[in-house]
Structure 1
Amino acid sequence: MMLASRGRLVLGLLAVLLASGFAVAPPAAGEVRAASPDLTLVGDARYDVQPQNRRVRVTFDLVATNHLQDTATQRFYYDQTFLQVQAGTTGFALTSATGSPSVRVTKRTADYTNIRLTFGQRIFSGKSASFRLRFDLPDPGGRAGRDVRVGRSLVSFPAWGFGSSSTPGGSVTVMFPSGYTIEVFGGAFSAPATGPGGTVTYASGRLADPATFSAFFLADRPASYVESTATAKVAGSDVKLTVRSWSDDPAWGTRVTGLFERGLPVIASEVGLPWTRTGSLVVQETVSRTTGGYAGLFDPSAGRIEVAYYADSFVILHEASHSWFNGALLTDRWANEAFASYYALVAAAKLKEKADAGTLTPQLRQARIPLNAWGAVSAAAGTSEDYAYAASLALATEIGKRAGPEGLRRIWEAAAAHEGAYQAAGGGAAETVPGAPDWRGLLDLLEDKTGKRFDDLWRAWVVRDTEAPLLDARATARSDYNRLVADAGPWRLPGAIRAAMRGWQFDDATTLMAGARAVLARRTDVQSAAAAAGLALPNRLETAFESSDGVAAANDEADAELSTIQAIVAAANARPATTGPLEQLGLVGAAPGAQLVAARAAFTQGDLSAAARGAASARAAWAGASDAGLNRALAAAATLLLILLALVGVASSRRVARRRSSLERRGADL
């Protein structure tokens, strides 16, 4: 993912380069006009780029013509005139084949320089005279965004045509030494011609109105870089900075190094996240061409930031903020650009750096797009790109006001940990999501971590028309979810519900929540049944409800618990109020009361199988006590009868034996 910054959030090169409001065209109405209608100036202007001297040498070969006509009593002539040339020009010289002409500056403004041309001769009616005006457009140095830069690495300057208003003729020629890649903005030139030694010449041809002709040249060529290193202390880590500035622009390196050294620690403190990048962060000077028309471009995969030579403090701090907002923390381009701009302004304020992020003007609002429609970094973007930069910052500002600094830090901490919204109640390990949050996940985190609403901002700034119904469905589902959370009390909702809410699968979430609500109703039934039975409930139903199987597991558990409660109640109901002899006999060796106590204890401990078995045994013992007593009594009676019969038999046998013995003795006596 490539992150880019607009120069003052305006793409048009002239607005980017000429940040001071420099006049790239001659003033429409100067304080002194170039020449009266009766005296015309027509000529050829040549601009010679001289990087070795850090200047553009301008030569204007002009012809001054007096169009007045003498009368019988008067002769008319001109011996001077006025001309407006670019601001900041120096080294004026005026020469002619005749006379002793001279030139003098009469006024300087930020937009132009007014000069007096003294011809050193009289130009009478109907006569013309030729002159050569020479002056320089020097590179003044200083401000990075200055309008005229002439060096080995970069050349930028405005080229004007000169002459009398509405007077055709003349031309503009611009000559560059070899090696530059040149762009021309404004003006009409033929295809450039390459001359001896690789010099490149642009020629306008004959001009219809040279006084209104203007162009702006931007040229760069492969630079030799000077590397410097520095170390910034960022969130307790030493961050190595490698700053690569053009060899002829050391001021850029000094300025950018200082801002990164001071800015990164402030941004880290405000964002509240540690520094996680490894290796050196490389910051390299460039022109906007190499950054696709942007004043800054961050390539997080390479750890390299390209910053335009003219970038101001806001752009530099914006790029520094991309060390965090680079696609790893947040997914969407608008969110990364929004908060890179937001923290750039926060840091600038704390560092007391002047930072101009631009404003969302009525003109930009006419190019409005939903921020979700903002495409990837592109050199072909236009006003919509400028709108998106300004609008995303406006949105981030509103979010920051509503969330507060600490609220934002909580959100970034959660996003960095891949922590999703809709966390389970009661703490525990956070549930994570794959990847960084997109616009949906960011909205959920904002509302979850701050307890405030942000969906109105999403409707106003973010979503496309086709995405707006999602916000409606979300509002309904979240209301249902919040009620369900309240109804569940200490219970955590099934993970499938939270996952569906995080994934914005609101139809699925609604179906799952209906099932969960039915389980909570059954929880009431189970609680009532247990209370009526004097039983303490185990936590099995809660565990099942919170499990991965959720509603289905909870319903099965509710069935099991209700069935076990009914078994225990049935066992208790089977216990006789009083026991007769038969019941007492039937219960000899059984302990249904102890079994019921054990069953109740097993239920409370969550062992439903043991509870059901114990209750069934106790119920069966009490219910069968009478029959068991009768059976035992009959068995005892039968046993006694058998014993009596056996005793009778033994006694009878003994009598018979005694009688036989007696008879045998009698016979012996006989």
Structure 2
Amino acid sequence: MVMTFGHRIVAGIAACAVLGTGMALGSSPTARADWKGLTEVSHSRYVVSSDGSDVSVTTTLTITNVDTEVTPESPNGRWEYKAYTVNVPATAQNVQATSGGAPLQVTLEEGSAADVRSARIGFPKLLYGESRTIELTFSFPGADFRAKDTTRVGDGFAAFGALAQGDPGKVRLEIVAPSDMELRSSRGAFAPTKSGGDTVWTAEEATVDYGIWSFVVLRDPKTADERRVEVGGSRVTLLGLPGDEDWLDFGEGLLKERLPAIEALTGLPLSRQITVYEDLAAESAGNYGIDLAAGVAGAPQQLDRTTFTRQAVLAGFDEGRFPERWVREGLASFVTHRVSGEGETDLVEVDTGDENAQPLVAWGEEGGSSSAAEEEYAYRAAHGVLRILLDDLDDEAVTEVLSGALSGESAYELPGSTEGIAPTDQWRLLDLVEVRGGNTFAADAYLDWVLDDATKGRLDGRAPTRRAYSELDEKDGAWQPPRPLRAQMAAWEFDEANASIERFADVAALAGELQRSTADAGLAVPRGVQEAYENAEGPDAVAETLRETDELLDSLTRVVASAEDDAGPLVGIGRRLLGTGGDLDRARSAFEAGDFDQLRRELADLQGERERAGRLGMGIVAGAAGLLIVVIGVVLLLRLRRRPVRGAPPRPPSSAAPGWGPGGDSPAPARVSRDSDPGGRQLGQPEQRRPPPQSPPRQGPPGPDPSGRPWPTSEPPPQRPGGQWPTSN
């Protein structure tokens, strides 16, 4: 009866050894339930060509039976082995084994995964203390693109699981490839050595408990098929495996679809020219290539929309922008999910009893000591935390957070400011989520998912300091608190920040009051005053500036008010004649420009003009009054001269009037009084008219008044001595 024993298979690809033992009764060697009585020394060598030829493999393995354990089943402590089984690629061909120059029987059987088969090597029984050296050789081509078998071999590329089985310190794995090809491995450190035109990559440290196993990817970038994609402000170069046009078409179409949405969500185009290449890594997403310094990321050769998008987003992150791995991986997954609705939709539940659970702050970089299960947990957990932080925010708030994070902005500066630019570590990200995103529960997510006992203490005192900062920010109105305080908050220096809040409290109140007073006056805050407050290193100098500004504002508003109500009618008349509106405008402009010396001159000029306007107004009013008196006197005098003499007969027309010359009518009949007049005449008697007084004889012919004026109409024409003036024919 033969029993076999085997090593575990890792990630569905790792090769495993299965040992066959023979069992006999009595004192014969018996079967064993484990394989700890066998030592293994091995050297495996994989040779890759650049032209796509099959990979050739040679493994030299020496096994020794050292098992002496006495058990009830084997009281003599003797065991024997008759077979050895090892996994080989599913596409393996010409699998042959020899020992001491003699061929051994090899039987290929179906493996436990799509990319492996079991090769069982039979040999005569191996007794205690005996050793056997086996040389196993085979070659393998690659499977088709996107086949379940992850082995790929082509022009300028190869990807496969490499195995060297043996005890720690007694195993060696070599990968030989043209020097133009680059190598990446899922685990283990490979040291390169030049050998002619090839590079020999060597690993000697065990990566699994049965030796060295690693999935390796080799590629020559120069052989890649290239395609450039430009969308909006983003530029992407795609590098596909030679002959894989389907991957290039897929990548181009996906980028054109999603890059506009990514730019809209993050508020930024991809920060630089990036490259996405077709990556053959077969394990978890963490083993896809990423070179942030060069802006290069690998995307799966499977047409996976989620992982492709996520890797493109990662490539756009500046090197050093996100120091913690969980932050950049979580952000890339969140952006992918937000723009597409794809990706992990169920949040990971924290399970402290899960052996793979770990605080995200402890998640190391790629190629570290984390197991595949720990990597898987950390990827999902990082995505889950970012969704807790950002899922409930609308797109505008998400954009404010993401654009700030991608630009390295401080949450305590205005969006777009270059002040305080620094890497967005996990602490600054928390500030952005709370300040710009308004998520008041973000710190709780950090306590549950991110921080360990050593880092949780950084949250102590943060909440009360942030409340005090917010109160000061309310006092100073629309302005930002002084720069030293903002920097202390961004650096999480809360003791120093509390001291600064106390120092600047009074100055903040002055700043808020000045803004309100200026707005009430319809003016803008003087240029430079806001900057003086926001950049103040201490409170004293800026307090003096704020008080000076407030005093000048008070003087200016009093002058403006005086001008608007004209300060009485006399000053108003003078100002209208002098035209002081331009002076007021210059004073306002000088105030808003922060030119206080010019403002003082303008205010002094306005005060002088006010006095001059008052004097001018008084002079104008006095002159107007005098002129009015003269005009009134002239009018009265003229009216008096034109009034008729009381009791004088009316003046006839200037030509010979009836009743005044020969041939004229008789004078009008005398008015008869009904009663006696005061002169004692009888009532009803004709009133006797007294002849008009005669003027002295006029010398010379009649004519106009020598003054040129017509004769007064209140006097009759002068009589000529002895009769009437002759009439002209």
Where on the TM-score scale, by shorter chain, does this alignment land: which range? 0.5 to 0.7
**1:497 lines up with 2:497 in the alignment:** no
Q: How do residues 408-447 of structure 1 correspond to structure 2 at under 5 angstroms? A: 408-411=398-401, 432-434=417-419, 446-447=433-434
* Letter matched to residue 440 of structure 2: R
1:275 is displaced (CA, Å) by 3.7
How is 1:267-282 mapped onto 2 (pairs within 5 angstroms)?
A: 267-271=262-266, 273=267, 275=269, 281-282=274-275
The structural deviation recorded for 1:242 is 2.9
Give the CA deviation at 1:478: 0.5
- 1:228 maps to what in 2? 226
Which residue does 1:307 correspond to in 2? Answer: 298
Kindly indicate whether residue 473 of structure 2 is the aligned counterpart of residue 481 of structure 1.
yes
Deviations 1:561-589 (A, max 9, x none): 89989999xxxxxxxxxxxxxxxxxxxxx
Alignment of 1:309-324 (within 5 A): 316-322=308-314
Matched, 1:283 2:287: no
- Whether the 8 Å contact between 1:228 and 1:244 is mirrored in structure 2 is yes
Secondary structure of residue in 2 paired with 1:453? coil
Structure 2 Cα separation of the partners of residues 131 and 230 of structure 1: 51
| Aligned counterparts of 2:42 and 2:456: Cα–Cα separation in 1 | 55
Give secondary structure in 1 for the equivalent of 2:238.
strand
Q: Is the 8 A contact 1:331 1:438 kept in 2?
A: yes
Shift, 1:343, TM fit: 0.9
Question: How much has 1:320 moved relative to structure 2?
Answer: 2.0
CA contact (8 A) 2:265 2:398 kept: no
CA distance in 1, matches of 2:236, 2:316: 16
Contact 2:162 2:214 (8 Å CA) reproduced = yes
Q: 2:361 aligns with which of 361, 366, 369?
A: 369
Is 1:456 the counterpart of 2:448 in the alignment?
Answer: no
Percentage of pairs with the same residue: 16
Determine whether 1:158 maps to 2:144: no
Change in Cα spacing, 1:474 to 1:26, as seen in structure 2 (3 Å) is: same
Note if 1:398 corresponds to 2:388.
Answer: yes
Kept after mapping to 1: 8 A contact 2:42/2:164: no
**Deviation string, structure 1 residues 496-532 (Cα, Å, up to 9, x no partner):** 63656644575555544423435777999x99xxxxx
**Whole-Å separation in 2 of the counterparts to 1:418 and 1:193:** 42
Alpha-carbon separation, structure 2, partners of 1:523 and 1:201:
69
Instruction: Find the aligned partners of 2:567 and 2:81 in 1 and give their Cα distance.
Output: 135
- Cα distance change, pair 86–356 in 1 and its aligned pair in 2 (3 A): farther
Q: Does 1:22 align with 2:6?
A: no
The answer to whether the 8 A contact 2:87-2:118 is kept is: yes
Aligned residues: CA RMSD: 6.8
User: What secondary structure, in the 3-state scheme, does the structure 1 residue paired with 2:394 have?
Assistant: helix
Q: 2: CA distance between counterparts of 1:418 and 1:61?
A: 54
Bigger shift: 386-395 or 509-518?
Answer: 386-395
Residue 335 of structure 2 corresponds to residue 343 of structure 1? yes
Over alpha carbons, which structure has the higher Rg? 2
Change (3 A) 1:513 1:133: closer
1:452 CA displacement: 4.5
- Alignment CA distance shift 1:389-1:84 (3 Å): closer
Contact kept in structure 1, 2:91 and 2:140, CA below 8 Å: yes
Sort the Cα spacing of 1:332 and 1:81 in 2 relative to 1 into closer, same or farther, 3 A.
closer
Aligned counterpart, 2:680: none
Question: Which is helix-richer, 1 or 2?
Answer: 1
1:325-376 CA-to-partner distances (Å, cap 9, x unmatched) read 437xx955456554233213334x44x57899999886676465399xx9xx
Judged with a 3 Å threshold, the aligned counterparts in structure 2 of structure 1 residues 137 and 496 are, in CA distance, closer, same or farther, namely closer
- Distance change (3 Å), C-alpha of 1:500 and 1:608: farther
2:309 aligned with 1:326:
no
Rate the CA distance shift 1:24–1:408 in 2: closer, same or farther, 3 A. same
Whether 1:243 and 2:238 are equivalent positions in the alignment is yes
CA contact (8 A) 2:271 2:318 kept: no
Question: Whole-Å Cα distance in 2 between the matches of residues 366 and 552 of structure 1?
Answer: 56
- Describe the shift of the 1:450–1:539 C-alpha distance in structure 2 as closer, same or farther (beyond 3 A): same
**Matches of 1:189 and 1:380 in 2, distance apart?**
12
- Rounded to whole Å, the distance in 2 between the matches of 1:293 and 1:265 is 27
Aligned to 1:176: 176
One-letter amino acid of the counterpart of residue 90, structure 2 = G
CA contact (8 A) 2:20 2:82 kept: no
Structure 1 position 263, deviation (Å): 3.7
In 2: Cα distance, 1:260 partner to 1:183 partner: 26
Shift in Å, 1:466 = 6.0
Q: CA deviation at 1:159?
A: 1.9
| CA deviations over 1:459-494 (Å, ceiling 9, x no partner) | 745888568656643321113323664xxxxxxx4x
Deviation of 1:400 after TM superposition, in Å, equals 1.2
Q: Unaligned stretches of 5+ in structure 2?
A: 1-7, 24-28, 32-37, 68-79, 490-496, 533-544, 589-601, 616-729
Paired residue total: 519
Name the SS for the 1:403 alignment partner.
coil
Quickly say closer, same or farther: Cα 1:599–1:441, change in 2 above 3 A. farther
Match of 1:296 in 2: 290
Find out whether 1:594 has 2:588 as its counterpart. Answer: no
Matched, 1:54 2:38: no
Cα offsets for 1:127-176 (capped at 9, x unmatched): 999998655555334449965445543454332449xxx9x9x9878673
| Matches of 1:443 and 1:128, distance apart in 2 | 62
Q: What is the distance in 1 between the residues matched to 2:437 and 2:605? A: 48
Task: Note if contact 1:305-1:319 (Cα within 8 Å) is conserved in structure 2.
Answer: no
Q: Cα gap change, 1:112/1:61 in structure 2, threshold over 3 Å: closer, same or farther?
A: same
The Cα of 1:442 is off from its aligned counterpart by: 6.1
SS in 1 for 2:85: strand
CA contact (8 A) 1:231 1:238 kept: no
Residue 85 of structure 1 corresponds to 87
CA distance in 1, matches of 2:209, 2:523: 91
Q: Could you tell me which amino acid in structure 1 is paired with residue 87 of structure 2?
A: V
- Distance in 2 of aligned mates of 1:49 and 1:500: 61
In structure 2, give the amino acid aligned to 1:88: A
Amino acid at match of 1:158: A
- Residue deviations 1:257-290, cap 9 Å, x none? 454344424423433x364768x644345799xx
C-alpha contact 1:83 1:114 (8 A) present in aligned 2: yes
Q: 1:56 to 1:264 in 2, by over 3 A?
A: farther
Q: What are the within-5 Å matches in structure 2 for residues 516-555 of structure 1?
A: 516-517=508-509, 538-539=521-522, 551-555=546-550
CA contact 1:227–1:245 (8 Å) conserved in 2: yes
Q: Which residue of 1 is the match for residue 702 of structure 2?
A: none
User: What is the aligned partner in structure 1 of residue 494 from structure 2?
Assistant: none
Shift in alpha-carbon separation, 1:94–1:421, aligned structure 2, 3 A: closer
Question: Take 1:336 and 1:260, find their aligned partners in 2: how far apart are those partners?
Answer: 20
